[in-house]
Each structure stands twice: as structure tokens, then as C-alpha cells.
Amino acid sequence: MKLQKHWYKIAAVLILLYVLVAGLLVPLKPGIMSVEPYILKSNSVNKIAVEGYNSHYTEEEKTLKVWLKLDSLKGIEASNVKVIDDNNLEATFSFGSRFPADKTTGTLLVHSENDGTAVLPNFRLINQEQVGSQSTTDGAVTNLPNIFYTKPGWQFPFRPLLHETIRNTFFHVAIWMAMFFLATVSLVYSILELRNHNPLTDIKAASFTSITILYGLIGIATGSIWAKTAWGAFWTADVKLNMATVAILVYLAYIILRSAIQDQDQRARVSAAYNVFAYLAMIPLIFVIPRMSSVDSLHPGNGGNPALGGEDLDNALRYVFYPSIIGLILLGIWMSNLRIRVESLLNKET
């Protein structure tokens, strides 16, 4: 067995093992699951129940601080914090004066020394008139102290709604990237086939395309499961889903086209031309149309949503996300090579 020929298979297995282990076992940062009620009124005593995730409120009771952030400088501190258990606490905001008129939402911050700061945005603020004569003016807008930081160490970010499903980034997003790589390889083989006719390049292009389709189907399936938990339905009217479906249909037509033509020479030429056409028609479908701000999309980076990268693609995610792409590409090449061998053996038989 020659090692030079097989190194990429070993690399694929090792990288994917690392992705599975790290991607599923590295914990999430402490976060805030829910707050009840999700609203804060002025001129009254607000008791809110906070449910934390991966938090250690009982251990951290002494350093626990709850703040409502109004902007990058100003905030209101909770007058009283009562810890119920590790994941539940009750904070009291009593706020006498009115909220600044231009502020309708605030951000809830729960900070402790070892857990860092957990954040819940879009907390609603409501101004109401003073009821009765009792004054509750012990809370006021003050400057935010400079104590907030996120928990150091290798943990995946906690995002509202996504929670643990953020790990699907390593599988759902990475498999689409790998799919594009394989489709590009197949395109290159198709161009080679058009320039110098060689039965082997035709088989290579077809094999890479079939693995591309497989990856596309897995990409749709993983995305569908993710959509069920994050958006509430297996299929939504998202433009990216529609375009991905069209792209899969275009590639399925490639397979049907190949089986419809008997003559080997003609099949090679027609399917290579179709592959080039399909690839170039697929690029605007997936890269351009969903990115326009005029369309509705729930995907990050599409339909005017903020893009993946920046805030969303945390460094902790990158350590697993990039290796996952490489591992899936290597696995795809491995599978394609197996198909190439099967196809060329079948070719010899006939």
C-alpha cells in the first residue's frame, strides 16, 4: 500500500473525527434562555424571572450583577438580585423617572466573574405615568461600569433562538461549501473533456457531479432539520431554499441526460456542455439572487440580513468550521474516486 496515494483518506477521517468530537462536545457560553416578563415599565417595581443556560448562579452569587443596557454608555442596575438555583434568578428593577424617549428597547446583561456576561437584546421598555404617591425612585440611569466581558476560553457563542443548534454550522454550512468545491472540480473535468476527448475525463466529471448531488441533498436535509427547530417549519418560503432546489434539479437533469443518450461519444460531449452551462447558470441562482435586499430570506447574509462572518462566525466556531469544510471536501474526493473506479471497470466490461 502506497501511503502517498492514500494520505488524503487518512486526513479526511482524522479531520472529520476532530470535527465530530469538538463540534459536539465543546460547550456553549453561558447565556440567557428566557426572561419573564419581557417588558420593563417605568415608575414601578419590575420583578423579572431570568432563566440562564450553562450558568452557575449559586456559585457566582457574590459577584452576580444584572444591568439593563440602554446604549453603549448608559444603563440601569437591578436594585435586588435573588438567586433561586443555578439556572434561575429573580431581578428587581425599580425605576422612578421616565426612560429616555428615544429608547424603546434595552439589552439585559447578567454578569458574574467566572461566567462572564450573558446578553439578551431587544428588551422592551414602556413609559407609564406615576401611579399613587409612593416614590420608587431608587433606580436611575447611570454610567455603565467597565466590568463586562465574555467568558474566556474555547466555547461556542450562545445565540438566542439558535442555542445548541449553532453546532449545525459545521455540518450544514460546511457541506454546501464542499459541494461547491466538488461542482467546480466537475466543471474543470467537463471543460477538459470538451477540449480533448478522453473517456476517463467524462467518467471523472460524472462521478464528481453525482457526489455533488449527494452533498446537495444532505445540505438540504440538514438545513431542513435546522429550520424545524430555529424557524419552526421544515420548509419555508425562503429564496435560498428555492434556489438550492433549482440547482439540485439542474444537476439531477444532468444524470437523466446521461442515461438518455446511448452513444458514448455523444453522451460525453453533450453532458460536458450541459455541465458547463448548468454550473454557470447555478452561480447567479445561489450567489446573487439570495443576496439581494429585495427578497425575503431568513438565512444570515441574505435578503439584507447581516452576513455570516463578523459577529456570527465567532473564532471558536472557526476552529471547527474550516477544518470541517476541508474534511468534507477530502471525503467527497474519496467517494468520487471510488465511483470513478466502479464506472471505469463497468466501462471495460461492455
Partner 1 sequence: MQSVNRVFLLLKKDITLEFRSLYAIGSILLYVVTTVFIVYKAFGTLEARTWNSMFWVLFLFASMNATLRSFSKTSSENSFFNYSYINPSEFIISKILFNLLFLVLIASLTFVVMSVFFEHPVQDFSLFSSGAFLACVGASILCSFSSAASTQGASNATIMSVMSLPLTIPILLIAIKISLQSMNLINDSTISSDYMILGGIILVMFGVTILLFPYLWKS
Min dist. Cβ of residue 278 to partner 1 (A): 7
Could you tell me where the beta strands, DSSP code E, fall in the chain? Answer: 31-36, 39-41, 44-53, 65-69, 74-77, 80-85, 88-95, 105-112, 116-126, 142-143
CB of 223 to partner 1, least distance (A): 19
Residues in the chain: 350
- The backbone torsions φ and ψ at residue 137, rounded to the nearest 5 degrees and listed phi first, read -90, 30
Q: Assess 284 for contact with partner 1 (CB under 8 A).
A: yes
Listed in sequence order, the residues at least 6 apart from 119 whose beta carbon sits closer than 8 Å to its beta carbon are 31, 32, 107, 108, 109
**Binding residue for partner 1, selected from 8, 53, 148, 274, defined by CB under 8 A:** 274
Q: Is 252 in the site for partner 1 (CB under 8 A)?
A: yes
Q: Does 122 bind partner 1 (CB under 8 A)?
A: no
Comparison of 65 and 258: residue with beta carbon closer to partner 1: 258
Instruction: State the minimum distance, in angstroms, from the CB of residue 292 to partner 1.
Output: 6
**Cα–Cα distance measured from residue 89 to residue 50, given in angstroms and rounded to the nearest whole number:** 5
Does residue 217 bind partner 1 (CB under 8 A)?
no
CA–CA gap between residue 182 and residue 208 (Å, rounded): 6
Part of the chain binding partner 1 (CB under 8 A), chosen from 116-124, 136-144, 268-276, 323-331:
268-276
Query: Considering only CA atoms, which of 210, 208, 214, 213 is closest in space to residue 191?
Result: 208
Evaluate whether 267 touches 258 at the Cβ level (below 8 Å).
yes
Nearer to partner 1, 235 or 274 (CB): 274
Closest CA to 115 of 55, 41, 195: 55
Residue 304 touches partner 1, criterion: CB under 8 A: no
**Candidate residues 73, 292, 338, 346; the one interacting with partner 1 per rule CB under 8 A:** 292
Q: Residue 6 or residue 195: which is nearer to partner 1 going by CB?
A: 195
For partner 1, the closer of residues 72 and 262 by Cβ is: 262
37 part of the interface to partner 1, by CB under 8 A: no
In whole angstroms, give the CA distance from residue 335 to residue 348. 20
Stretch that binds partner 1, among 128-136, 150-158, 221-229, 263-271 (CB under 8 A): 263-271
Query: Smallest gap, in angstroms, from Cβ of residue 231 to partner 1?
Result: 22
> What's the rounded Cα separation, in Å, for the pair 212 and 216?
6
Sites for partner 1 among residues 152-211 (CB under 8 A): 194
Burial 141-157 (b: 16+ CB within 10 A, else e): beebeeebebbeeebbb
In the list 229, 266, 311, 346, the residue contacting partner 1 (rule: CB under 8 A) is: 266
Cα radius of gyration rounded to whole Å, the chain: 27
Nearest partner of 119 among 311, 292, 341, judged by Cα: 311
Whole-number Å distance between alpha carbons of 340 and 296 = 40
Sole binder of partner 1 in the list 45, 270, 313, 340 (CB under 8 A): 270
Kindly state whether residue 260 participates in binding partner 1, applying the rule CB under 8 A.
yes
Site for partner 1 (CB under 8 A): which residue of 294, 315, 345, 350?
Answer: 294
State which residue, 257 or 308, has the beta carbon closest to partner 1. Answer: 257
Question: Given the rule CB under 8 A, which residues bind partner 1?
Answer: 194, 242-243, 246, 249-250, 252-253, 256-257, 260-263, 266, 269-270, 272-274, 276-278, 280-281, 283-285, 288-289, 292-294
